[in-house]
């Protein structure tokens, strides 16, 4: 099957952008299936870097068709801003290579307002640490069945009535939080301006993706966030509001699960998390500082320092199960260089005994379960120049092999530096064998 899902196996920020970029070279179609502008990845344009939140990185490849699927929530202001920025930098015909699902929901200004007000007023132990991009309230409207979808932009009069109805339902909340809703006219005047540019990009993306797969085209389904932030599988309630895992690829792209060929799980060689919520292997010492500083662990959307910790193998086994991971991409192995010893969590001690899979519902409050670690020797050699596994220092190779054995999925790729070329490719599901990046 010519479709590959790339899914984050941790709490997001696993380095999916680089891996998507590598596999995208072999893809005809790239689909984002969940989330919205809470994601962020860096596009390198000449000597400049731009962080995009909605556009898939495939947008700069002339032969690639990019699709924003129906599982997403879209802020048209952010999307058009990203397109305009790329136009300013000399990139043309972006709109011709982009199709938006007419079923994807819109993030409207009141969603951003509510997200921001709620985060600002929640007690410390309840604040989720969201990206304040309106994600939660937009998905809430979708589930409440009062949401406004991209396809509604085709009929602005009918849309105004939907917007008024949805806003009316939020009014008491906004009032209680001390905020003020914008008027329906103000919301609509922005949308009217955007509609002329958005409507020509709308399409039935479910059909497009299914047809592409049937025609043998290579389709890359690009996840955002990560398994442990998934609304169903994550560390609830400290999660995002979408189906970030591989299951979301089917409903979010609008294709049957049997249309998905391969699932690749991305994991850092250690763990990070932004925002609130349990993180049992978190470090608050010089090792954690090493990971943050050497790994440049600061959020690409919010700039917040990321929390850092050791690799959580029970977490990887859990992610492997709920996503059906066929192979792993291990990123940022180079960040561990220079550490004398590396600890890895291999199990959890719980009141019911030792368990090998992440006890997802017992992580909060902290202390109910205890991570069990093994210690492995570190290495001092730089890894950026390594292109084959056998050339890794013995301890780094042993670390990768340990992950593979313990997670129960083969390693398809190891990233040893931020550049595209700084990659050890072991298996490429689009071509069935290793292919140099
Ligand atoms: P929201 O998605 O903005 O509602 O945020 C909910 C939680 O998910 C917060 O803890 C965020 O920090 C986290 N989150 C959302 N998007 C990302 C991402 O792309 N990477 C990492 N964490 C994210």
**CA-nearest residue, atom 2 of ligand 1:** 240
Where the chain has pLDDT below 70, the residues are 1, 44-46, 432-437
DSSP state of 169: H
Mutational test site, ligand 1, from 20, 234, 275, max ligand atoms within 8 Å of CB: 275
Q: Say what the pLDDT of residue 436 is.
A: 46
Mutational test site, ligand 1, from 34, 115, 234, 240, max ligand atoms within 8 Å of CB: 240
In the chain, the domains with their CATH numbers are 3-95+204-425 (3.40.440.10), 105-199 (1.10.300.10)
In this structure, what are the phi and psi dihedrals at residue 83, rounded to the nearest 5 degrees?
-65, -45
Q: How far is the CA of 301 from the centre of ligand 1 (A)?
A: 10
Q: Which ligand 1 atom is at minimum distance from the Cα of 38?
A: 16
Q: Say what the pLDDT of residue 50 is.
A: 79
Q: How far is CA 33 from the centre of its chain?
A: 10
pTM above the 0.85 mark?
A: yes
Radius of gyration for the alpha carbons in the chain, expressed in angstroms and rounded: 22
Q: Which ligand 1 atom is at minimum distance from the Cα of 224?
A: 19
Catalytic positions are 13, 41
pLDDT (tens digit per residue) in 353-393: 999 999 999 998 888 999 999 999 999 999 999 999 999 99
Q: Which ligand 1 atom is at minimum distance from the Cα of 276?
A: 10
Q: Say what the pLDDT of residue 54 is.
A: 95
Is residue 385 exposed (0-12), middle (13-18) or buried (19+ Cβ within 10 Å)? Answer: exposed
Kindly list the protein residues whose Cβ atom lies closer than 6 A to any atom of ligand 1. 12-13, 38-39, 128-131, 133, 135-136, 224-225, 229, 238, 240-241, 274-275
């Amino acid at each position: 099957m010519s479709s590959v899902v790339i899914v984050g196996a941790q709490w997001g920020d696993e380095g999916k952008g680089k891996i998507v970029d590598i596999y995208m070279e072999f893809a005809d179609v790239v689909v984002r299936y969940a989330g919205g502008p809470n994601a962020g990845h860096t596009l390198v344009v000449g000597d400049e870097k731009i962080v995009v939140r909605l556009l898939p990185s495939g947008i700069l490849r002339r032969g690639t068709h990019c699709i924003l699927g129906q599982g997403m929530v879209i802020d048209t202001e952010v999307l058009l801003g990203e397109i305009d920025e790329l136009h300013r930098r000399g990139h043309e015909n972006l709109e011709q290579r982009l199709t938006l699902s007419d079923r994807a929901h819109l993030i409207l200004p009141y969603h951003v307002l509510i997200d921001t007000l709620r985060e600002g007023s929640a007690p410390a132990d309840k604040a989720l640490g969201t990206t304040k991009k309106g994600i939660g309230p937009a998905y809430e409207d979708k589930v409440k069945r009062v949401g406004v979808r991209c396809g509604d932009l085709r009929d602005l009069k009918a849309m105004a009535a939907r917007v008024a109805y949805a806003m009316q339902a939020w009014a008491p909340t906004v009032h209680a939080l001390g905020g003020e809703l914008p008027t329906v006219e103000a919301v609509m005047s922005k949308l009217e301006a955007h509609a002329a540019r958005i409507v020509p990009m709308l399409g039935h993306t479910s059909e497009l993706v299914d047809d592409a797969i049937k025609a043998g085209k290579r389709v890359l389904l690009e996840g955002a966030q990560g398994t442990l932030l998934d609304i169903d599988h994550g560390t609830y309630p400290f999660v995002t509001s979408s189906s970030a895992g591989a299951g979301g690829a089917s409903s979010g792209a609008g294709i049957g699960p049997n249309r998905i060929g391969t699932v690749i799980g991305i994991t850092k060689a250690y763990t990070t998390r932004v925002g609130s919520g349990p993180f049992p292997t978190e470090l608050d010492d010089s090792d954690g500082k090493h990971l943050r500083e050497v790994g440049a662990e600061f959020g690409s959307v919010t700039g917040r320092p990321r929390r850092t910790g050791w690799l959580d193998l029970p977490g990887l086994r859990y992610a492997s199960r709920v996503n059906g991971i066929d192979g792993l991409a291990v990123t940022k192995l180079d960040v561990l260089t220079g550490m004398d010893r590396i600890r890895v969590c291999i199990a959890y001690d719980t009141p019911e005994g030792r368990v090998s899979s992440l006890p997802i519902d017992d992580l909060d409050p902290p202390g109910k379960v205890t991570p069990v670690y093994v210690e492995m020797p570190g290495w001092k050699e730089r890894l950026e120049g390594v292109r084959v596994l056998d050339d890794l220092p013995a301890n780094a190779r042993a670390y990768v092999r340990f992950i593979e054995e313990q997670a129960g999925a083969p390693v398809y790729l190891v990233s040893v530096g931020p550049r595209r070329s700084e990659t050890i490719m072991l298996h490429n599901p689009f071509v069935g064998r290793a292919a140099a990046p």
